Structures are given as C-alpha cells and as structure tokens.
C-alpha cells in the first residue's frame, strides 16, 4: 500500500501541531502550579500575620488616643492622631502595624490608614520621632501620626470641635484602631 505525498504532509503537520499543543499545555500547567504555589504561600503568610496579631493584641495596650488638629510647628493645623502604646508581654516587639479607621455615625468609613508607630517618620525633611527599633517587655512609647490626604469633612469636624464657641455638634466621628501585624523576638 502506497502513501501519497499529500497524506504524508497532513500526517507530519498534524503530528507537529499535536506535539506543540501538548508542550504548550504542559508549560501552561507548570506555570499555573507555580502561580498557585505563590498565591498559597502569600495566603499562608497573611494568615500567620493575622493570627500572630490576634494572639498578641491582648498584650499591646493602646491608650490616651487623641484625634485633633496639630498645634505644633511640624504639622500645624493638620489632622493628627496621638497615643500611647505599652507592651505587657514578656517578648520584645520588633514590628508593629496599626490600622486606623475613622467613620461617621452611620458607620460609613471616611478614612482608613495603616502605620508603623515603632518607625521613624520624616515629613517635609524633618524627623518627627526618633527611631525606636523595638518595644521591650513592660516598656511603652508615645506616637504621633499625621493623617495624609485626610478628607475635608474630617478637617472641618476637627475645626468645629476645637473652636472657641460651643456649638451643638450633630456630627461625630468614631475613631477605631486595630493591631494588624506584630513581630516578636
């Protein structure tokens, strides 16, 4: 039985095409597995961070929170939040991340920011706080955080709150904070 030239071309072309599709599928599957492993690894690390923050938040005491317009030269008339952080655990806290949420009476979030109170801050070329690399057991520090890109509604609320004349305040802003990430040594 003789195979025609035309049939040989079809067989070779089909075999090359099938091989190409098989190789492309194997490469795609390999890339998918690597991507999935990276996603799972990131998800795992995020879960560990959340779990660690949940475990250590009872040892981190945040107090004396004030939310106002700054009266000092570094952030004059800009919204800031100040507070005090204490470590009541028996481990040194080397990294701390807080999430600040400002919301209105209806519960709508007006502003959200995450910051690291243990790091040095520089704004406009001025070091605002000396660097503290850790929070020792039983130790405490004060922090001051400038609210960047704060909405005008919050600034106007703070201006009314700090005004000389007492007005009936119909607006209230709820200040909430959450320990997002903690690293101990």
Buried b (16+ CB within 10 A) or exposed e, 109-132: eebebebebbeebeeeeeebbeee
Give the total number of structural domains in the chain: 1
pLDDT given at position 183:
85
The residue range of the domain holding 176 is 60-184
Residue 105 lies in a domain: yes
All residue ranges of the chain with pLDDT < 50 are 125-127
pLDDT given at position 1:
56
Residue 12 lies in a domain: no
Q: What is the Cα–Cα distance from 96 to 32, expressed in whole angstroms?
A: 34
Residue 19 lies in a domain: no
Residue 70 lies in a domain: yes
Residue 110 lies in a domain: yes
- The pTM of this model reads 0.67
CATH of the domain at 159: 2.60.40
**Number of neighbouring beta carbons within 10 Å of residue 38:** 10
């Amino acid at each position: 039985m003789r195979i025609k030239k035309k049939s040989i071309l079809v067989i070779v072309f089909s075999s090359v095409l099938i091989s190409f599709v098989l190789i492309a599928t194997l490469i795609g599957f390999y890339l998918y597995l690597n991507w999935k492993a990276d996603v799972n690894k990131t998800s795992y690390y995020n879960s560990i961070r959340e779990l660690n923050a949940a475990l250590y938040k009872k040892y981190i005491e945040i107090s004396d929170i004030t939310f106002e317009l700054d009266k000092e030269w570094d952030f004059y008339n800009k919204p800031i939040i100040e507070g005090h952080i204490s470590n009541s655990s028996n481990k040194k806290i080397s990294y701390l991340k807080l999430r600040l949420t400002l919301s209105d009476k209806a519960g709508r979030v007006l502003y959200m920011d995450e910051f690291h109170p243990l790091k040095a801050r520089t704004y406009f070329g001025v070091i605002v706080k000396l660097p503290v690399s850790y929070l020792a057991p039983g130790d405490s520090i004060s922090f001051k955080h400038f609210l960047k890109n704060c909405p005008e509604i919050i600034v106007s609320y703070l201006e009314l709150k700090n005004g000389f004349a007492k007005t009936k305040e119909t607006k209230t802003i709820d200040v909430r904070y959450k320990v997002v990430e903690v690293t101990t040594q």
